[in-house]
């Protein structure tokens, strides 16, 4: 099967390289080059770097409906287009053209968590499991027929980075299985139950702010769900504090803490009150400083009784 690939970030590069071992990848469509850093150096997307490394032609159109771009796509004669985190909406003129149409890898068990950031939101919502889906692309967001799915169990301390690293190999393998299944007609599209659709919310700075009135479990899920990006945060002594890692606190104590109130325990553990109990803070990053563990924070800030986050 001859494949046309659409993708931009690391997960796209990972999947494209896996597909190259099984199929003929004719071209890669990816996002524009970006300038960053003090010297405004040009940086390629991970997909572009991976494609150039194995001499796969790279296309970077500004508009996917551009007639010259559409003609170039058709000239390759791909049997199917595969999309993995490309970053742009694929129009019908593109997704409907190949013999086997266009398929997309989505890191959730559709119809749950349609849209951006499904990995983060599955953790923030405290799901016990999530997964990956290979679906047919249509004109609605993540609403196409399902081809194959695979479940991934979630540990209560798993971060978004942990889950992302699990999705990489699992997603690539599922794409390969799906493509072989389409070739031998063993994979049949199944419509989604749109009544069960759940859409991911927008993630911004306010979304990642810790509400210490919330239950400890919800705060813990927020912290791990937004690690490594955008990182949950609060304030302390007028400065922003990024909270990287927390743990549920199970020890028996003879004190209570108000929501956000900080206290040391056993002279080396950093605790904070929540809406329904106590949460231990394992890694915290003060503004303009490196991340540190609870003991380093305790020693550096010499906590005063009754002080609070938030």
pLDDT in tens, 101-147: 999 999 999 999 999 999 999 999 999 999 999 999 999 999 999 99
Of 142 and 39, more confident: 142
In this prediction, residue 74 carries a pLDDT of 96
- Average pLDDT over the chain reads 96
Mean pLDDT value of segment 63-69: 96
Decide if pLDDT at 41 tops 90.
Answer: no
Decide if pLDDT at 25 tops 80.
Answer: yes
Decide if pLDDT at 258 tops 90.
Answer: yes
In this prediction, residue 35 carries a pLDDT of 84
Domain 1-100 of CATH type 3.40.50.170: yes
Common-topology check for domains 106-157+182-202 and 216-301: no
The architecture that CATH gives domain 106-157+182-202 is 3-Layer(aba) Sandwich (3.40)
In this prediction, residue 152 carries a pLDDT of 98
Q: Which fold has domain 216-301?
A: 3.10.25
Number of other residues whose CB lies within 10 A of the CB of residue 291: 15
The domains of the chain are located at: 1-100, 106-157+182-202, 216-301
| CA nearest to 268, candidates 293, 304, 244, 243 | 293
Per-residue pLDDT of 182-211, as tens digits, reads 999 999 999 999 999 999 988 999 999 999
Mean pLDDT value of segment 178-182: 98
Mean pLDDT value of segment 71-75: 96
For residue 36, name the pLDDT band (cuts at 50, 70, 90).
confident
Decide if pLDDT at 227 tops 80.
Answer: yes
Q: What SS3 state is found at 75?
A: helix
Question: Which pTM does this prediction carry?
Answer: 0.94
The whole-angstrom separation of Cα 82 and Cα 37 is 32
The segment with the largest mean pLDDT, out of 27-36, 212-221, 251-260, is 212-221
Decide if pLDDT at 169 tops 80.
Answer: yes
For residue 40, name the pLDDT band (cuts at 50, 70, 90).
confident
In this prediction, residue 39 carries a pLDDT of 79
The whole-angstrom separation of Cα 218 and Cα 121 is 12
What angle is formed at CA 296 by the lines to CA 294 and CA 298, rounded to 5 degrees? 70
With a CB cutoff of 8 Å and minimum separation 6, the contacts of 200 are 113, 114, 115, 116, 117, 118, 120, 121
In this prediction, residue 217 carries a pLDDT of 98
For residue 9, name the pLDDT band (cuts at 50, 70, 90).
very high
| High-pLDDT (> 90) share of the chain, % | 95
The whole-angstrom separation of Cα 150 and Cα 34 is 34
Decide if pLDDT at 223 tops 90.
Answer: yes
Number of other residues whose CB lies within 10 A of the CB of residue 77: 11
For residue 297, name the pLDDT band (cuts at 50, 70, 90).
very high
């Amino acid at each position: 099967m001859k494949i046309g690939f659409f993708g931009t970030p690391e997960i796209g590069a990972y999947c494209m390289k896996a597909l190259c071992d099984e199929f003929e990848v004719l071209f890669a469509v990816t996002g524009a080059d970006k300038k960053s850093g003090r010297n405004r150096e040009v940086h390629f997307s991970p997909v572009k770097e991976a494609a150039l490394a194995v001499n796969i032609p790279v296309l970077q159109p500004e508009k996917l409906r551009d007639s010259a771009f559409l003609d170039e796509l058709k000239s390759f004669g791909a049997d199917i287009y595969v999309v993995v985190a490309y970053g742009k909406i694929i129009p019908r003129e593109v997704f409907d053209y190949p013999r086997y149409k266009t398929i997309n890898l989505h890191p959730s068990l559709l119809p749950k968590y349609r849209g951006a950031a499904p990995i983060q939101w599955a953790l923030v919502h405290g799901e016990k499991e999530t997964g990956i889906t290979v679906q047919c692309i249509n004109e609605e967001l993540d609403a196409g027929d399902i081809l194959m799915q695979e479940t991934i169990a979630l540990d209560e301390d798993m971060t978004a980075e942990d889950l992302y690293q699990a999705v990489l190999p699992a997603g690539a393998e599922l794409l390969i299985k799906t493509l072989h299944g389409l070739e031998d007609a063993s994979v049949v599209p199944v419509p989604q139950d749109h009544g069960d659709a759940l859409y991911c919310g927008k993630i911004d700075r306010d979304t990642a702010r810790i509400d210490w009135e919330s239950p400890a479990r919800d705060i813990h899920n927020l912290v791990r769900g937004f690690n490594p990006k955008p990182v949950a945060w609060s304030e302390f002594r007028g400065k922003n504090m990024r909270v990287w890692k927390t743990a549920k606190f199970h020890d028996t104590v003879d004190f209570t803490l108000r929501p956000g109130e900080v206290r040391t325990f056993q002279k080396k553990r950093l605790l904070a009150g929540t809406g329904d109990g106590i949460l231990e803070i394992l890694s915290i990053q003060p503004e303009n400083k490196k991340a540190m563990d609870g003991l380093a924070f305790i020693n550096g800030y010499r906590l005063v009784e009754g002080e609070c986050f938030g």
